[in-house]
Amino acid sequence: MGEVSGNDAAFARASRIIPGGVSSPVRAFGSVGGSPVFIARAAGPYVYDVDGREYVDLVGSWGPALLGHAHPEVVAAVQAAAARGLSFGAPTLAEAELAEAVRARVPLARKVRLVSTGTEACMTAVRLARGATGRDLLVKFAGCYHGHSDALLAAAGSGLATGGLPGSAGVTAAATAQTIVLPYNHADAIRALFAERGDEIAAVITEPAAANMGIVPPGPGFNAVLREVTAAHGALLIYDEVLTGFRVSASGWWGLEGGVEPDLFTFGKVVGGGMPLAALGGRADLMDLLAPLGPVYQAGTLSGNPLATAAGIATLRLADASVYARVDAAADRLAGEVTAAFTSAGVPHVLQRAGSLFSVFLGVDSPVRDYASAQRQDTGAFRAFFHAMLDAGVALPPSAYEAWFVSAAHDDAVLDRIVTALPSAATAAGAARST
């Protein structure tokens, strides 16, 4: 019998007890093949697998690790909080402190409620919109992901796209009957829908820069059109900034974009600093409809957990202008190098950005504006590229539909390692092209 790596053994053991061996499907290497890397620890820009192998990490826990992994001050804040008690089921001042930090960055989040996951934040925002308007219909865009609650699991982007699933079994037709899915970036489609059914629509929920079908930024004026038609028909506009919030700028996509004023926001990922914490925020009159003040029910045993709030407060405190400048610079350099590598290897590709977030669509030669065009990418070429990078010690998200996440810890020496790995990986992608 040959050597079994610790990693393969870990995957085999986990697969015997956990479906697919993973606690969330995007972690499985379903679309790229092979065994997922089992992580033992992480520090700064690196993750280490159970065999002790070091990788430059471009997953960043799918977004939270803005400062790099296990930032000493964040870890110290969590340790200090843990020593004071893990959970009380009673309010703490730290919750108000974190909510104030959110509002300081996104002043339209006049009031903020803390929850544990982005899924809950989006589910609650939708319930709140329906409760506030007394209307049933919800509009979302194909390829945008808003968590895995039933009503939002229609044409929901990365996780499903990666697995080649149109939607989820177990979601009843009734649960999605009141969700209308439109193509992203098609202002004419949203105008037409509102002209016909505007007075039945509770809300439009959108990723204001889509990041779960690869990176698909909004076209000029698209978000403004969403604001205009929702306002004209008494519907609400929800910006889901679970991924972009506090990552693409201190005030998220909303701050980068300027001008559009949504009614509600959802946040997650960075706001929890790597702990299970998310939030929704927005107009005070709407937020005050939440229980206990109002009739829209929402609750959570571990909501506003003291360890999670400590991580979030420390992360936002440390995420100053210099952090965003470093993350932007790292993304600029890497995006340029990735483009250069695929160009020299003769691989048609389109690299798209939303601030410091970027992704590359292989085998595509015109801009990707919506989910249908994202699905034209060559996932076989990505698979070859992904494994070549992994073999060279660079861990990319294991899906062609995900953004690459850099952190403030990705300095030039770290980026050099990625850049060194790019040419042969790009060549491998070219050799694997399906066309």
Ligand X SMILES: *Cc1c(COP(=O)(O)O)cnc(C)c1O
Catalogue the active-site residues: 145, 240, 269
Q: Does 61 bind ligand X (CB under 6 A)?
A: no
Stretch in the footprint of ligand X (CB under 6 A) among 64-72, 116-124, 305-313, 354-362: 116-124
Show the tokens assigned to 341: 């590598």
Q: Is 146 in the site for ligand X (CB under 6 A)?
A: yes
- Does residue number 207 form part of the binding site for ligand X (CB under 6 A)? yes
Residues 6+ apart with CB under 8 A from 194: 201, 229, 230, 232, 233, 235
Report if residue 428 touches ligand X, rule: CB under 6 A: no
| 45, 147, 159, 281: which one binds ligand X (CB under 6 A) | 147
**Of the two residues 122 and 406, which places its CB atom closer to ligand X in the complex?**
122
Residue 347 CA to residue 408 CA, distance in Å, equals 30
Q: Which residues contact 349 (CB under 8 A, 6 or more apart)?
A: 339, 342, 343, 360, 361, 362, 363, 364, 365
Figure out which of the listed residues 99, 122, 389, 390 binds ligand X, where binding follows CB under 6 A.
Answer: 122
Task: Using alpha carbons, list the distances in angstroms from residue 140 to 179, 220, 354, 369.
Answer: 7, 19, 20, 15
Window of 34-42, 139-147, 172-180, 287-295 that interacts with ligand X by CB under 6 A: 139-147
Q: Which residue's structure tokens are 């405190």?
A: 317
Does 304 participate in binding ligand X (rule CB under 6 A)?
Answer: no
Closest approach, Cβ 293 to ligand X, in A, equals: 25
Asked whether position 208 contacts ligand X by CB under 6 A, the answer is no
Among 31, 176, 212, 249, binds ligand X (CB under 6 A): 212
User: Does 94 help bind ligand X (rule: CB under 6 A)?
Assistant: no
Q: How many residues bind ligand X (CB under 6 A)?
A: 14
127 token code pair:
């319930």
Closest CA to 404 of 392, 391, 395, 416: 395
Beta bridge partners of 358: 353, 404
Select from 268, 304, 306, 380 the one that contacts ligand X (CB under 6 A). Answer: 268
- According to the binding rule CB under 6 A, does residue 374 interact with ligand X? no
Residue 118 binding ligand X, by CB under 6 A: yes
Q: Exposed, middle or buried: residue 16 (CB in 10 Å: 0-12, 13-18, 19+)?
A: exposed
Phi then psi for residue 193, to 5 deg, are -60, -45
CA 65/CA 45 separation, integer angstroms: 9
As a three-state string, the secondary structure of 69-105 is: ECCHHHHHHHHHHHHCCCCCCCCCHHHHHHHHHHHHH
**Cβ-based burial of 29 (10 A; exposed 0-12, middle 13-18, buried ≥19):** buried
Minimal distance, residue 70 CB to ligand X, in Å = 20
Residue 280 interacts with ligand X (CB under 6 A): yes or no: no
- Provide, rounded to whole angstroms, the least separation between the CB of residue 168 and ligand X: 14
Scan residues 218-257 and list those touching ligand X (CB under 6 A). Answer: 240, 242-243
117 lines the binding site for ligand X (CB under 6 A): yes
| 179 near ligand X, judged by CB under 6 A | no
Integer Cα distance of 287 and 127 in angstroms: 11
Q: Can you tell me which of 29, 38, 46, 145 binds ligand X, judged by CB under 6 A?
A: 145
| Contact residues for ligand X, defined by CB under 6 A | 117-119, 122, 145-147, 207, 212, 240, 242-243, 268, 278
